[in-house]
Structure 1
Amino acid sequence: MSSVTGITINCNHERRNGGGIFRPVQIESHHPIYQQGVVAPISALVGLPLLVYRHKGGKGTDERDMALENEIAARLMTGRDGRIVSDFGEQPGSITIVRKDGKPLTRQAIETIWMFHDYFLEHFSEDKRDADRLLNRRDFNHFCEDYKEDRLLHGHASFARLELPL
């Protein structure tokens, strides 16, 4: 594998400086994500393991500094118990994500995966057992189909290119 398309999810600081939320990046085979990356817990449970790499420079010195906050990173690093994996809950900074299977990751795909995590957490807050039953490939695929259809109905034409199943 020479390189694969991943996604960097920028922290608040990078977003304010014009970096946007999601930025496609080419990840070479020697990138530290392959040695230091952490598998996002829910992604593994639904059969689409994602490697998440936290950029150096995270963890601000001022607890009130919101520049390194990254709510999306925290959501993606939530486990089936509703808790965020350590080091990702407070000021995680920017992160980069690749699919462990080496397939390209698109903006639309990572948005869909993020929204699945939100969906899981909504159910988790109401009924933990019900939420736990969502953590399988079939229910994940069904959510992705529904989310794509909804985005297309709301005029987000870029979702027409989202290939399912992820």
Structure 2
Amino acid sequence: MLKEIIVVEGKSDTAAIKRAVEAETIETGGSAINQAVYEKIRLALKRRGVIIFTDPDHAGERLRRLITARFPGCKQAFLSQEETTKNGDVGIENATPEMIRKALENLKTDYQSAESEITQDDLMDAGLLVHPDAAARREAMGRLLGIGYANGKQFLKRCQMFQITRKEFEEALKLFREEGFQ
């Protein structure tokens, strides 16, 4: 059983997690989050640790930001929209057990006050900002770095929050280019 408690959006996500690993979850009840849920997360973080594992869509990213702002130091698991989409529906509940296990093996921990080696200029040089295909490029780089998809501003914040090193960024960029992105 995982030591940490996984924060997910709903019952279907809990079911998918339990098909993949032995773990306990806290369900937020969707994109809304109330004080009782915050209290459960606070207690879980204090006693066992927390992994945030929300859907890679607007509502899931909003929840991730709300929880992270209130509880710095949570571990985070990410899957891409591609990995979690089934019949047009995006959600952790659509991921395979193998994908969920892989995401849980590649956890990131946020460090709110960290200085990153990655700058906005690095993102520009990699075509992750102000490029006709910037969104697709960030999706691919986010997958390779294990930080998920984000808009340009949030992508830089995630690089900082998760202390992505220049070496990690350059290695991901090399794989990114091997995948056909130039």
TM-score by length of 1: 0.28
Q: Select the structure that is richer in helix.
A: 2
Q: Which has the higher contact order (CA 8 A, sep 6+)?
A: 1
Pick the structure with more strand per residue: 1
TM-score of the two chains, using structure 2 as the length reference: 0.26
